[in-house]
Chain A
Amino acid sequence: MLGLNKKDLGVLLLVALLAMAAPILLNPFPADSGMAQFNAGYPDLMQRFVIFGIFAIGYNILFGLTGYLSFGHAAFLGVGSYSAVWMMKLLSMNVIPAILLSVIVAGLFSVVIGYVSLRRSGIYFSILTLAFAQMSFNLAYSVLTPITNGETGLQISLSDPRILDGANAPSYPNLFGAQMNSAATIDVGSWSFTFSVGYYLCALLMLVAFYISIRIFRSPFGLMLRAVKSNQQRMNYTGLNTKPYTLAAFVISGMYAGLAGGLLAAMDPLAGAERMQWTASGEVVLMTILGGAGTLLGPVLGAGFIKYFENIFSKINDNVLHGWFSFMPDGIEDFIITIIHPFVGKGWHLTLGLLFMLVVIFLPGGLVEGGQRIGRLFRRKKADTNTPDGTKTPAE
């Protein structure tokens, strides 16, 4: 079905199911319980999960398949956001033209940057992409202020022309009238679940993006991209021109980044230069490697993992810790909290960094490899106890 084999279809359906049920699955704790702060099922955060999922899925097509490590993909994210906001200022608050333009502009932008950067490979390619992204960041901050509104960031305002919108059109990003921030909250007992238009639009686009990435992975084009990573010399002497292959992968991943940037702006109509900074480029590299570069699911997992950390782990402050460890004698309680303190709250980067190191050292295939190992362990146990069917390959 859908041109996918059984295994890939299974993965796609699983992701679809998780994405659709996320508002419920991510809110496992009752709203008034002490654990409620670990609930991630609110629209703003869920949107970030899937938007950065799109960003990482696209980045994985370049880095995971061809091995070209770009340190500048945030530039395309930023360009996507600026384009989307401009579209909402000039044309319409409907997000469709905004998202379309962000993909197109990011695509064009990545043709130029890709064409120049791909003249080199390895570390020189990485440095070139980094230089381009920092250049874009600085331009957005200074010279291009008329377009980017510099430090303040580009915002919508009531005086914008919006030539396609009528007098009664919504003044917030919307999809044919349905506003991105409109949501329905359903209470079940002491649990509370929020379903928002914005999240479901992002989730649907993420599924489309994921589906396209599966098709690319399984296509002859995807095979060629993996060949680029493996041995460019052999490719050249097999009659294959590697340049357009790498450029195509670069542009596709740039368009994914543009889509992600456009969606960020569609959910919250403003765009700032900091979106293009090198830390943002580094983040998508981390997501992809942490989840598992070159695997289908890895980037999605990595994006979710890092965004969860950034938003949830960072909220654990000393008060929360005192609440948790209050059952202990005072001296020990303070001691334990002193030890944990640097790793939580503002120190969440430290924990993430340690986790990242552990994954790179012990699980070079990322979280996906971790999952596969656990899966294999279970299968082997099962095979040992009763069934002989322990040899099936684990799902990706």
Chain B
Amino acid sequence: MNILEVKNVNKRFGGLQALGNVNLNVAENTVHAIIGPNGAGKSTLLNCLVGKLIPDTGSVMFDGRSVLGRKPYEINQMGISRVFQTPEIFGDLSVQENMLIPCFAKRDGAFALNGYGSVGSQRDVIDKAEEMLVEMKLADKRHMHAASMSRGDKRRLEIAMCLAQDPRLLLLDEPTAGMARADTNNTIDLLKQIKEERDITIAIIEHDMHVVFSLAERITVLAQGTPLVEDTPDNIKGHPKVREAYLGESQDAA
């Protein structure tokens, strides 16, 4: 079954056709990669899924329900969590507090005037946050100022925050961009482990072919705002159109 169905989505920025007739189906409990050269429209497509942008035409269905016209927080509450190209965390708060916020959002919804009891007295939320910190190997940093962590740790924290909400669909925008090889490999292992341990669908945008071929079960190639092909990793590797449009140089680099 498809958890995400994108049909005939178009998006223009002035004279630029950023997305042209995009169709994309993501099957439940798979890892689906979206690749394509710079400016292909990958981030724009993601923005259309999470309510940051509204497509000019077309439909986006998540789990049988349309996401169009909904606010980002509503779409998140439907079960879509997003990790950004540059980590978006609460830099002024401690790592533990960062972890608590999605846990409260999951328990109390989009808004709760919960001004009476102290944070420390909400055992269920504290425990859930602690569990995630331990699982993501961030427990020893729990009192650290989030802004002062390394980029790799920030990314890990952001992924942990998204996972704490038990999303059904996790969207990752270039999670390894700017990472050293070792960190990239750690991220691959982490994502593999996440996929093994829970019922989750992952859609990942990535330039690093090593990451893509280690994780993806299906790959969509986007070029100039239009899907070129969609297939399994093995078929994509040998596809002449893809090699021409995108892979040739990247594979040498990887």
The chain A residues found within 8 Å of chain B, CB to CB, are: 3-5, 215-216, 218-224, 226-227, 229-231, 233-241, 244-245, 248
Contacts and interface: CB of A to CB of B under 8 A. Distances in A.
Contacts of A223: 93, 97, 100-101, 104, 119
A221 B92 contact: no
Contact of A239 (B88, B92, B165): B165
Contact of B115 (A215, A234, A237): A215
Contacts of B81: 237-238
Interface stretch (B68-76, B131-139, B186-194, B224-232): B68-76
From B76, B101, B112, B119, name the one whose CB has the most chain A CB atoms within 10 angstroms: B101
Given A221-B112, A231-B90, A240 B118 contact: no
A240 B81 CA distance: 12
Contacts of B100: 220, 223
Nearest to A228: B90
Contact of B111 (A3, A237, A244): A244
Nearest to A245: B111
B36 interface: no
A230 B89 CA distance: 8
A221 B110 contact: no
Contact of A220 (B76, B88, B106, B122): B122
A239 B110 contact: yes
A239 B120 contact: no
B154 to A, nearest CB: 11
Interface size class of B (residues with CB under 8 A): 35 or more
A238 B101 contact: yes
Contacts of A3: 116-118, 121
Contact of A240 (B92, B105, B115): B105
Interface of B: 50, 71-73, 76-77, 81-82, 84, 88-93, 97, 100-102, 104-106, 108-122, 125, 161, 165
Contacts of B91: 230-231
Given A219-B117, A220-B104, A240 B73 contact: yes
18 contacts: A4-B118, A5-B118, A215-B116, A215-B118, A218-B118, A218-B120, A220-B117, A220-B122, A220-B125, A226-B97, A230-B91, A230-B92, A234-B88, A236-B73, A237-B72, A238-B105, A239-B77, A240-B101
Nearest to A4: B118
A156 to B, nearest CB: 36
A57 to B, nearest CB: 15
B249 to A, nearest CB: 33
Nearest to B171: A237
Given A219-B114, A239-B106, A241-B110, A224 B72 contact: no
A222 B101 contact: no
Contacts of B109: 239
Given A4-B118, A224-B104, A239-B165, 11 more contacts: A216-B115, A218-B118, A220-B117, A220-B125, A221-B112, A224-B101, A231-B88, A233-B88, A237-B81, A240-B111, A248-B113
A227 B118 contact: no
A222 B105 CA distance: 14
Contacts of A229: 92
5 smallest A-B Cβ distances: which pairs?
A239-B76, A221-B115, A241-B110, A230-B92, A230-B90
A150 to B, nearest CB: 39
B50 to A, nearest CB: 7
Contacts of B121: 3
Contacts of A219: 114-119
A241 B70 CA distance: 12
A221 B100 CA distance: 12
A248 B114 CA distance: 11
Contact of B89 (A220, A222, A231, A244): A231
- Most-contacted residue by chain B among A230, A238, A240, A245 (CB, 10 A): A238
Interface centre among B82, B92, B111, B112 (most CB of A within 10 A): B111
A238 B90 CA distance: 11
